[in-house]
A and B are shown apart, each in its own frame.
Chain A
Amino acid sequence: MPSQPHGAAFGAVGDVSPDAVAASLGRNDGGFGRAQETYFDHPVLHKAHWGWEIVGYFFAGGMAAASAALATLADAAGDPRDGALVRNGRYTALAGAAVSGVLLIADLGRPERFIAMMRIFKLKSPMSVGVYAFSAFSATAGLAALEQARADGTIARNPLGWIPKGPRVAVHALSAALMATYTGVLVAATAIPVWYRGRRHLPAIFALSAASTGCALQNGLLALGAGSPATSRKLEVIETVAAAAEGLLLLDYERTAGVPGKALFGGARGRRLKRMTLGLGLAVPALLALPGLFGRHPKRGRRLRGLVTAACALSGGYVLRESVVHAGRDSADDPRAYLQHPV
């Protein structure tokens, strides 16, 4: 060892008790030892600025996509009793697309900023893919709503009725599928540990959540109006299967996410996610639907059951989106998740 040029200066620290020295070495409060793991625990990554607008967009967009898909399915593969679902589905899809557009623009700040995304198409960017999926979805949802308005007699003639039905429905269905799933790809394909750990789960979870909330919303609307119990039963079957798959995927996501997954599944956020999404959003509607799956629903209370199911499933779906977006912020702020747990 060479002579100790700084020895005297640091030696003065020797007045401090050994315990205090050990504690200060353990803490990153200045005077790191060689075992330093992070830089004062400062974040390595920047977090997305997304707030409630984007949470709402993820939620409303997914629900609108599922409503559109249900209306399309009921129209193509259903029977005449499903007419109310086709109507409600088409109108709510358009309303959901409109709400989504307003939320997106609220996030960007100015309407013309949305147009800036249309100057190129870039398959590599899930944001670009999503913008085109959303645009195609909104346009075709408008066409479907026009068609419905003509069928209902609200308007005498559909000015865009010359657009062939086949391609219109195909684009509508494909863009709805993308709308329900691309948001999962959007968050998974980032450098945020809790999000990329869920790359195999999040897109599917978002799609299943869109399906379960969409079914619940349509069921609630049918319960309010004069929907056929047969249609409600179909929706309940889809909702229950989707909810079961969603719950299993969430649990598998928690299992495989490891330490970075704590941002979503640990602490108060994790407890709230389990209570609100797994419990209220998935388990309660499934339990309420269970007797009906075996054809044993009491005739009375159908309206109340539909509304309660819708309220529970929608709250669960919203909490899921909110938890995922907020967990991304905490994960970006946690340097250890990124530095110490490579993919």
Chain B
Amino acid sequence: MRLLYEGLTSVTCVSRRRRGYKYPPVRSDTGFFTDVTLCIGCKACEVACKQWNQLPADGYTFSAESYDNTGRLSATTWRHVAFVEQADRIEPAASRWMMMSDVCKHCTYAGCMEACPTGAIVRNEFGDVYVQPDVCNGCGYCVPSCPFGVVAVEPKEGVAQKCTLCYDRQKDGMEPACAKACPTDAITFGPVDELRANAQRRVEKLLAEGREASLYGIDGEETRETGPLNAFFLLPDRPEVFNLPPHPVLPSRFQPAAYSSALVAATALAVLGVAVFRGLREGA
């Protein structure tokens, strides 16, 4: 069943596959490296993103939890700064205040792209996952298929929207607005392999200083299903502290089990139906 499924889907799948389809090796994918230990929580990335991409305001809700009144990524918020306040009352010096600028991860195996029935979600020439707004029909199936809760349907336009990694700016050789605006270079943009090398050096430096640091989205447990993330993070704590799933799922992995269930049920019902209609036939 698994083999049959893999064979059939690899023929029609537009997404980059684990094996088989080779992405043209034109250049390295571009991506973001977001370093939580450098973020000062100024939210310039949120503002720059809104401004460049002409995204509307989300209203003025007051969360009363922290300086984070944005809450989470949405169809009109493509960068979101989370404020994590770890006040340790017993050991006050161990208290930490961490800011993390969240963004679309631009997965290697993207759940949204696999789910999209119109082909609106594509991987562009920079290796980033991009929603073509003129093709999207707003079916919304990418929304529950994103393992990171990034993409969402914008109710007014009725199309799915998320971070484009500033596709338009990249085409003109510019870096994305959030990375440009970041005053501490907590967000850096560039070819993913360069960013990864920088990130490794940064982690080694922090660990040498005796600080906690780990990378999210390069080769850890979190990349088991989605593959390496083009937008990855340096985290001083466990991922769930920043609302990042430790085990993001790639929804298409559930399809073999689900289709098997469908096949068994449909076959059983067909056999039952034929048996009943034949068995109770006139004169039988």
Q: What residues make up the interface of A, taking CB atoms closer than 8 Å to B?
A: 1-7, 9-11, 13-14, 21, 25, 28-34, 36-40, 42-50, 69-70, 73-74, 77-82, 107-109, 113-114, 116-117, 119-128, 131, 177-178, 180-182, 184-186, 188-192, 195-196, 199-204, 207-208, 211, 230, 233-234, 237-238, 241-242, 245, 328, 332, 335, 338-340, 342-343
Contacts and interface: CB of A to CB of B under 8 A. Distances in A.
Contacts of B268: 245
Contacts, number: 283
B176 interface: no
A6 B97 CA distance: 11
Contacts of B244: 44
A180 B137 CA distance: 24
A49 B92 contact: no
- Chain B interface: which size bin? 35 or more
A10 B92 contact: yes
A34 B94 contact: yes
Given A6-B95, A48-B144, A37 B116 contact: no
B86 interface: yes
Of all A-B residue pairs in the complex, the 6 with the closest CB atoms, nearest first, are A181-B262, A204-B265, A128-B117, A203-B262, A116-B137, A10-B92
B131 interface: no
Contacts of A42: 71-72, 243
B262 A207 contact: yes
Contacts of B89: 10, 13-14, 21, 25, 31, 33
A168 B9 CA distance: 26
Nearest to B264: A204
Most buried by A among B63, B88, B114, B117: B117
Contacts of A7: 92-93
Interface in B133-165: 135-141, 143-153, 155, 158
A234 B240 contact: no
B280 interface: yes
Given A1-B91, A188-B254, A127 B262 contact: no
B13 to A, nearest CB: 4
